[in-house]
Amino acid sequence: MIEISQLYKKFGKNEVLKGVDLEIQEGKIVAVLGPNGSGKTTIIKSILGMVVPNNGDIKLNGESILKKWRYRDSIDYLPQIANFPHNLTVKELIGMIKDLRKQKKAEDTPLIKLFKLEPFLNKKLGTLSGGTKQKVNILLTFMFNSPLIILDEPTSGLDPISLLRLKELINSEKKKGKTIVITSHIMSFVEEVAEEIVFLLEGKIYFNGTISELKKKTEQPDFEHAIASILTQSYA
């Protein structure tokens, strides 16, 4: 699905990615983790075409995506912070996004019901709580049937019930054969949904494999302690 080879990116003198090689297989749920400044956001933005690497290549289904844009139609992206127009209602925003992606069929009604958004459809986005905005963010991401979904901190602001529904939604999309890439600081969430872990440190991949393999490598009894072990070593 995604092949990243020798990806290198620097901003000024700051080397953010230092020749990253990574392959994400179709139909997998992969969590890209790492401390702030490790390069995970740059990898995500490079896949989306929001950042142009200095060197290396990214292929989607065998074709390079560099300096191209049409491939983005096959990606649904949930940004960490959604800056919605405050004067629009939720219903108007949904309609606007449908118009922008009118070449793709949108199924918003099931998601509106799933996240109980009916009472908010005619309310302006500027009046909504952070958690409700995140539900709208999730709806806009999942209402198009794209084969690749990228979720940047999807749990932000969600209450426990909405978090449970998000997990169910992710698992439902996986059963359809979707490839899902997630970044998150909530290790319990990652442990529940992710099949594979990619852990970045200082622009390089420190670990790529399953959670059980990570626990074995770090000689830790659980996932959170395994991650803490990596971070402790990196800051030592």
- Write out residues in the chain with pLDDT < 50, as ranges: none
Structure confidence by residue, pLDDT tens digits, 154-170:
999 999 999 999 999 99
List b or e across 110-146, with b for residues whose CB sees 16 or more CB atoms inside 10 angstroms: ebbebbebeebeeebbeebeeebbbbbbbbbbbbbeb
Report pLDDT for 189: 95
Distance CA 139, CA 105 (A): 14
Report pLDDT for 25: 95
Is residue 54 a contact partner of residue 8, using CB atoms and an 8 Å limit? yes
Report pLDDT for 125: 96
Report pLDDT for 159: 95
Domain that holds residue 185: 2-235
Is residue 89 a contact partner of residue 125, using CB atoms and an 8 Å limit? yes
* CATH code at position 32: 3.40.50.300
Number of domain units in the chain: 1
This prediction has a pTM of 0.93
The set of residues, in sequence order, having a beta carbon less than 8 Å from that of 112 and lying 6+ positions away, is: 118, 121, 139
Report pLDDT for 128: 95
DSSP letter assigned to residue 62? T
Structure confidence by residue, pLDDT tens digits, 168-221:
999 999 999 999 999 999 999 999 999 999 999 999 999 999 999 999 999 999
**Helices then strands (H, E): number in the chain?**
8, 10
List b or e across 194-215, with b for residues whose CB sees 16 or more CB atoms inside 10 angstroms: bebbbbbbebebbbbeebeebb
Report pLDDT for 133: 95
